[in-house]
Amino acid sequence: MEWYIFAIMAAVLSGLVPSINKKILNNMPALEFSTFFSLINAVLVLPIAFLVSFDIPLKILALLFAGSLFGVMGFLYVSKALKIFPVSVVSPLTNINPAVLLILAVFILGEKPTITQVIGITTIIIGAYIIESKRHPCEILSSIKIEKTSVLYITFLSATFYAFSSVIDKTVLKAITPLQYILIAHLFIASIFSFIVLAKTPDLKKLEPDFKKSFRWILLASVMTVAYRLMQAQAVSMTFVSLVIPIKHMNSLISTAVGGTLFHEKDLGKKMFACAIMLIGAYLVIA
């Protein structure tokens, strides 16, 4: 198949996952869900161990662990956002990620943003404003919520952690293959989440009822997640990553539409419009 088929399939699958996660999170704390989800993901990617070499320098493993740690925090915060807020609000705001990554790259990697990328960041901010604005958009200062419990604050924290993770991953993927990365990163993430849960809840029997109740849905979300990550890796291996990522970002529009429809969320038209604006901004930043 052509690379764009894999990229489109990755976008569709990753666009469906947030709605499944939202259903699970309605009945389970974000940390428990993240841990169970990461453990099943790790089990699903284990067969990759027969396809890759483990001859990886310790320095690269240490970097990958650090990147996984940031990834854990990023996923945990986006899970918290999904638990509290509608899918059609959280999904568009994930388009903040490329903007935060670009800003981080400017300060850490010394990269210089282009005029197009600056316009992209501005466009993303406009989209975020529309998502967070109240019914009277002329009240500019009061229409944006910046409290620590607001969706914008939580998704921004998630984007920041993911940005640090991406900067590290960019270095790691120069030294190892995508399959090596997928296997080891999933194992690290599962280990980190397990450590956090064990520290918080030593008696694992307390977690058993929630796990049994939601196992099928978590398994479905995990299968779809591993599948879209493999498809994305395959697409990247066949062409430039700059071509794959813009297509993959269509997932935010899909998840906004699907989640908003399934959960009968309000103002879906407004959120779809804001998502489309932020998506354009994300394309400009990535370009």
| Host domain of residue 179 | 3-286
The number of distinct structural domains making up the chain is 1
Q: What is the average pLDDT score of the chain?
A: 88
Q: What is the pLDDT of residue 170?
A: 81
**Rounded percentage of the chain residues whose pLDDT exceeds 90:** 61
Q: What is the pLDDT of residue 251?
A: 93
Helix/strand/coil (H/E/C) assignment for every residue in the chain: CCHHHHHHHHHHHHHHHHHHHHHHHCCCCHHHHHHHHHHHHHHHHHHHHHCCCCCCCHHHHHHHHHHHHHHHHHHHHHHHHHHHCCHHHHHHHCCHHHHHHHHHHHHHCCCCCCHHHHHHHHHHHHHHHHHHCCCCCCCCCCCCCCCCCCHHHHHHHHHHHHHHHHHHHHHHCCCCCHHHHHHHHHHHHHHHHHHHHHHHCCCHHHHHHHHHHHHHHHHHHHHHHHHHHHHHHHHHHHCCHHHHHHHHCCHHHHHHHHHHHHCCCCCHHHHHHHHHHHHHHHHHHHC
96-108 vs 115-132: helix axis angle to the nearest 10?
A: 140
208-238 vs 178-200: helix axis angle to the nearest 10?
A: 160
Contact 91, 259 (CB under 8 A): yes
Q: What is the pLDDT of residue 147?
A: 57
Q: Write the burial class of residue 131 (CB in 10 Å: 0-12 exposed, 13-18 middle, 19+ buried).
A: buried
Whole-number Å distance between alpha carbons of 209 and 138? 48
For the stretch 242-266, pLDDT in tens is 778 788 889 999 999 999 999 999 8
Q: What is the pLDDT of residue 131?
A: 84
Q: Determine the residue type at 112.
A: K
pTM for the predicted model, two decimal places: 0.87
The one-digit pLDDT tens for each residue of the chain (287 residues) are 788 899 999 999 999 999 999 999 998 999 999 999 999 999 999 999 999 999 999 999 999 999 999 999 999 999 999 999 999 999 999 999 888 888 888 887 787 889 999 999 999 989 888 887 754 444 444 444 555 568 888 999 999 999 899 888 888 888 998 889 999 999 999 999 999 999 988 777 778 888 888 999 999 999 999 999 889 888 877 887 777 878 888 999 999 999 999 999 988 999 999 999 999 999 898 86
- Among 150, 169, 154, which Cα is nearest to 71's? 169
Whole-number Å distance between alpha carbons of 259 and 264? 8
